[in-house]
Amino acid sequence: GENVEQHPSTLSVQEGDSAVIKCTYSDSASNYFPWYKQELGKRPQLIIDIRSNVGEKKDQRIAVTLNKTAKHFSLHITETQPEDSAVYFCAASGNRAGGTSYGKLTFGQGTILTVHP
Amino acid sequence: DSGVTQTPKHLITATGQRVTLRCSPRSGDLSVYWYQQSLDQGLQFLIQYYNGEERAKGNILERFSAQQFPDLHSELNLSSLELGDSALYFCASSVSSGGAYEQYFGPGTRLTVT
């Protein structure tokens, strides 16, 4: 089945710096790649996503890039703020019926991001 | 607020018992997904239902079962509970059954098995 690897497991930055989190996936049938932010004890919250027909997507301080050939995608957060501190999860999913990634999100292991004031 | 609701928020029970977790999807969403989050296993997909029918299955234990009702709410049943079943259980919903649609998560049910 699909396997998603996420790095780093922890990331510590100063306020105003940029943060980058990287993920790789194994199933070439995967074509949807969301990113979730989870604060302690709360639900995962969708912050941005990208589909395989797009190489890059940006929403204010957050951007995601996708390299289908290399099967990796990354989350970029610019001008980090203390309220960005949370656990970030990447995920992969596919919409090909019968494929191993169909109908479910396979998550990476998570990155604990700490932004120091 | 994602629009997905889950009850109860917390559940404490003993080993060997059975519990039922409930989820109501966002208005208009036909798919419901169940995920388990534990410290050692991360976020794991359990099962998906679409408009009342099972559509995809993950590493769901035989002791666990789920269903989706005509009003689209879903229930996850966990039986013969073990200490290792202690975890956060999330349900998520999306508009369709395919994998390329946004999934929105509910607040979760924290299950503690003692």
pLDDT one-digit tens code per residue, A13-32: 999 999 999 999 999 888 99
Q: Which residues contact A26 (CB under 8 A, 6 or more apart)?
A: A2, A3, A4, A71
Interface of B with A in 50-89 (CB under 8 A): 50, 55-56, 58
A116: confidence class by pLDDT, cuts 50, 70, 90: very high
CB nearest to B55's CB, from A101, A103, A106 = A103
- A109 versus A96: which is more confidently predicted? A109
Tens of each residue's pLDDT in chain B, 114 residues: 889 999 999 999 999 999 999 999 999 999 999 999 998 778 999 999 999 999 888 989 999 999 999 999 999 999 999 999 999 999 999 987 666 788 999 999 999 999
A-B contacts (CB, under 8 Å): 71
pLDDT at A100: 63
**3-state secondary structure at position B83:** helix
Mind listing the pLDDT tens digit for each residue in B81-98? 999 999 999 999 998 766
Most A-contacting residue of B9, B40, B103 (CB-CB within 10 A), to test interface: B103
**Cβ distance of B99 and A45 shorter than 8 Å:** no
pLDDT at A90: 98
The angle subtended at Cα B22 by Cα B31 and Cα A94, nearest 5°, is: 25
For chain A, the C-alpha Rg in angstroms (whole number) is 14
pLDDT at A85: 98
pLDDT at A108: 97
Task: Give yes or no for a contact between B107 and A43, defined as CB atoms under 8 angstroms apart.
Answer: yes
A1: confidence class by pLDDT, cuts 50, 70, 90: confident
Q: Is the CB of A54 inside 8 Å of chain B's CB atoms? A: no
Task: Give yes or no for a contact between A89 and A105, defined as CB atoms under 8 angstroms apart.
Answer: no
Task: Give yes or no for a contact between A2 and A92, defined as CB atoms under 8 angstroms apart.
Answer: yes
Task: Give yes or no for a contact between B56 and A101, defined as CB atoms under 8 angstroms apart.
Answer: no
CB nearest to B48's CB, from A32, A103, A106 = A103
Mind listing the pLDDT tens digit for each residue in A73-108? 999 999 999 999 999 999 998 866 666 667 789 999
pLDDT at A97: 63
Task: Give yes or no for a contact between B24 and A95, defined as CB atoms under 8 angstroms apart.
Answer: no
pLDDT at A86: 98
Query: CA B19 from chain center: how many Å?
Result: 12
